[in-house]
Amino acid sequence: MAEQKIKGYQTGTFVVGNRLLDPEQRSTQARTERSNTLTSGHRACQGCGEALGARYTLDAAMRASGGKLVAANATGCLEVFSTPYPESSWQLPWVHSLFGNAPAVAAGVAAALKAKGREDIRVVGQAGDGGTVDIGFGCLSGMFERNDDVLFVCYDNEGYMNTGVQRSGATPPAARTANTKPVGPEPGNVFGQGKNVPMIAMAHEIPYVATATVAEPRDLEQKVERAIGMRGARYIHVFVPCPLGWGAASEDTIRLARLVKETGIFPVFEAEHGELTAVSKIRRRVPVTEYLKLQRRFSHLFKPEPNTEVLERLQAGADRNIERFGLLADDEGADFPGEATDLARPPEKEQGPPPALVEPDTDSNTSMLLKETHGKPR
């Protein structure tokens, strides 16, 4: 199963609600004995999805490996904000590689441990989409081809955010970056370019491939634990929004990660040896515009008037994913219900500028949760 079947009332807020579950069912982040592998003191931006993804991933990997874990980290945002010399926020054996060779370095660490008879120590390689999809792609493909005993994780924020928000091979069509067309009839990234690395990994027929988002940490943790329990090359692609690079509100990080799945833009699935084994179904389908309008990198698609041609092409891509992976539940109809699946904050008003340009809500997360579950706070 792609997800553990747990009722919403059992989770509530991420930590407190987990106390309604049996201890063995609680997520890693809800456990007092979690390793806090990426601890306090790092310099990540407010609302950084990559910081969340790395913490969820490595805490789960530390738990699954019994604390016997080594991480190889490519150059990028994650490396820069977590290890400003001479400080570090990492609480595990951690090595910094070049931008493009993290898969090779991780494979070398795994080979050295095997030669020393220490195959009980597991190895994780990690990078952003630049170090995975572009600069490190050759090393990654080699790691897959050799079936090296490494779990490689890509934290995908869809661009080179550390160096100034440039386009990468994971940047979506029509998104504006520092080096895409700023004006003209078709501003933003062009259609038909880029790489789908999870599908490329499946083509290598490696033991395990999965995708996940930071909006569903329990699902991500389970996939990491499953991957750590396997041998050979494994790959997990984690969707991590970047508020700064996308022009989104910092409090919308989880909302964006949830909407990208519910629109069908980012399929969440698992595969073993090239065969799809599980998909995480869309709970309430929404049009892609609900996801796009929260980001200023897509604002040119909505003003001075909606660019229906481009929006329809983006919707067609999401529809293709839904059909290709079978993302709709059995009782889900073809029509959009017209409501966002997001419950992180109250619905937006029908009129007014795109939500990304509206002043942030003043309500706290706690008060909003109370309103959604119990009505007005008492």
Query: Regarding beta strands 208-213 and 151-156, do their DSSP bridges make them parallel or antiparallel, or are they unpaired?
Result: unpaired
Decide if 65 is inside a domain.
yes
Q: Which of 69, 91, 89, 93 is nearest to 80 (CA)?
A: 89
Ramachandran area for residue 274 (φ above 0: left; ψ -120 to 50: alpha; else beta): left
Nearest-angstrom CA–CA distance, 123 and 96: 13
Decide if 50 is inside a domain.
yes
Decide if 3 is inside a domain.
no
Quick: pLDDT tens for 139-168: 999 999 999 999 999 999 999 999 999 999
Task: Tell me which amino acid residue 358 is.
Answer: V
User: The domain spanning residue 29 has which CATH number?
Assistant: 3.40.50.970
User: Per-residue pLDDT for 342 more than 50?
Assistant: no
- Among 246-250, 261-265, 369-373, the minimum mean pLDDT is found in 369-373
User: Residue 359: which domain range?
Assistant: 8-374
Task: Tell me which amino acid residue 269 is.
Answer: F
User: Per-residue pLDDT for 33 more than 80?
Assistant: yes
User: Per-residue pLDDT for 370 more than 70?
Assistant: no
Decide if 296 is inside a domain.
yes
Decide if 83 is inside a domain.
yes
Find the mean pLDDT for residues 170-185: 92
Residue 293 neighbours by CB under 8 Å, 6+ apart: 302, 354, 355, 356
Provide the mean pLDDT of the chain: 86
Decide if 342 is inside a domain.
yes
Q: Provide the token pair at 106.
A: 């991780």
Task: Tell me which amino acid residue 200 is.
Answer: I
Q: What is the DSSP letter of 301?
A: G
The pLDDT of residue 160: 96
Give yes or no for a contact between 257 and 296, defined as CB atoms under 8 angstroms apart: no
Quick: pLDDT tens for 292-307: 999 999 999 998 899 9
The pLDDT of residue 44: 95
Q: Provide the token pair at 174.
A: 């029509």
Total domains, the chain: 1
* Reported confidence tier of residue 9, pLDDT bands at 50, 70, 90: low
Quick: pLDDT tens for 178-235: 999 888 888 999 998 899 999 999 999 999 999 999 999 999 999 999 999 999 999 9
